[in-house]
Amino acid sequence: MLNITYWSDYACPFCYIGEERLKKALEELGLTREAHLTMKAFELDPTAGLHAQTDTLTRFARKYGLSKEEASSRIEAISRMGRAEGLDFKYATTRFTNTMDAHRLTKLAMSKDDPSIAERVTESLFKLYFTENKELADRTLLLKIAKECGLDPTEVRETLDSDKYRRDVLADEQEAALNNVHAVPFFIVGRYGIPGALSVEDMKKVIEKALEQASQRQTAKGMTCGPDSCALG
């Protein structure tokens, strides 16, 4: 089993692109069923409001000190990257809000025995933001997604109306800080830490190296002693 952990936020374009490339890399290597993916929460802006305060173009230009023409060009370049991966990517018209509830919903989905529920929730939340251009803090939409993905509406409503899983989200963010992860996406594949959305080919190379190292650790066997006897290699 190949364990891959990654920090991500649903409002991050490169997280959506990076996750799609990771899935393609695993598929091309024939490892989709051999990989266990664990998403860790990361909020780009924990102070963001529950409703979009400004349009993406203005926010992008202000954040990076760009003219609106420069910002528009860069936003479109990012959208083209997403479309190149087969995603219906509309970054220019996204509506940026707080993502805490989206991450809490993901934690609820991850608590279920069926891993496909969390996979569907994750994909639906990215689509909600980048394709449908809806607000990720809209609890009515989160409830709709949760129900469509197989979660119990009553449990979802109770979760969103409480602070449940908030500590889990904050713990993920604290873990990121302790590991010097200050930007997303950030992937951990075996012993490799990967900042940013690598190309499919580069991601495949990292995965292959991680598997090679894991294999070497399993086959390199030295002399050991247990409670009852010693094994001399």
Six token digits for residue 150: 């197989």
What's residue 224's pLDDT? 54
What's residue 70's pLDDT? 97
Mean pLDDT computed over every residue of the chain: 93
Whether 209 is covered by a domain: the verdict is yes
Whether 64 is covered by a domain: the verdict is no
Please write down the HEC assignment for all residues of the chain.
CEEEEEEECCCCHHHHHHHHHHHHHHHHCCCHHHEEEEEEECCCCCCCCCCCCCCHHHHHHHHHCCCHHHHHHHHHHHHHHHHHCCCCCCHHHCCCCCCHHHHHHHHHHHCCCCHHHHHHHHHHHHHHHHCCCCCCCCHHHHHHHHHHCCCCHHHHHHHHCCCCCHHHHHHHHHHHHHCCCCCCCEEEECCEEEECCCCHHHHHHHHHHHHHHHHHHHHCCCEEECCCCEEEC
User: pLDDT, tens digit, for every residue of 206-228?
Assistant: 999 999 987 775 444 454 554 44
**Residues near 226 by beta carbon (within 8 Å), at least 6 away in sequence:** none
What's residue 20's pLDDT? 98
Task: Please report, for the domain that includes residue 1, its CATH number.
Answer: 3.40.30.10
Say whether pLDDT at 233 is over 50.
Answer: no
Q: What is the mean pLDDT of residues 5-29?
A: 98
pTM: 0.91
Whether 93 is covered by a domain: the verdict is no
Rounded to whole angstroms, the Cα distance separating 152 from 112 reads 11
- Find the domain containing 187 and state its range: 1-42+181-233
Whether 33 is covered by a domain: the verdict is yes
What's residue 229's pLDDT? 47
User: pLDDT, tens digit, for every residue of 25-41?
Assistant: 999 999 999 999 999 99
Rounded to whole angstroms, the Cα distance separating 29 from 84 reads 20
Give the model's confidence band at 61: pLDDT under 50 very low, under 70 low, under 90 confident, else very high: very high
Whether 190 is covered by a domain: the verdict is yes
User: pLDDT, tens digit, for every residue of 48-60?
Assistant: 999 999 999 999 9
Whether 89 is covered by a domain: the verdict is no
Count of domains forming the chain: 1
Whether 124 is covered by a domain: the verdict is no
Say whether pLDDT at 230 is over 50.
Answer: no
User: pLDDT, tens digit, for every residue of 150-196?
Assistant: 999 999 999 999 999 999 999 999 999 999 999 999 999 988 999 99
Whether 18 is covered by a domain: the verdict is yes
User: pLDDT, tens digit, for every residue of 106-165?
Assistant: 999 999 999 999 999 999 999 999 999 999 999 999 999 999 999 999 999 999 999 999
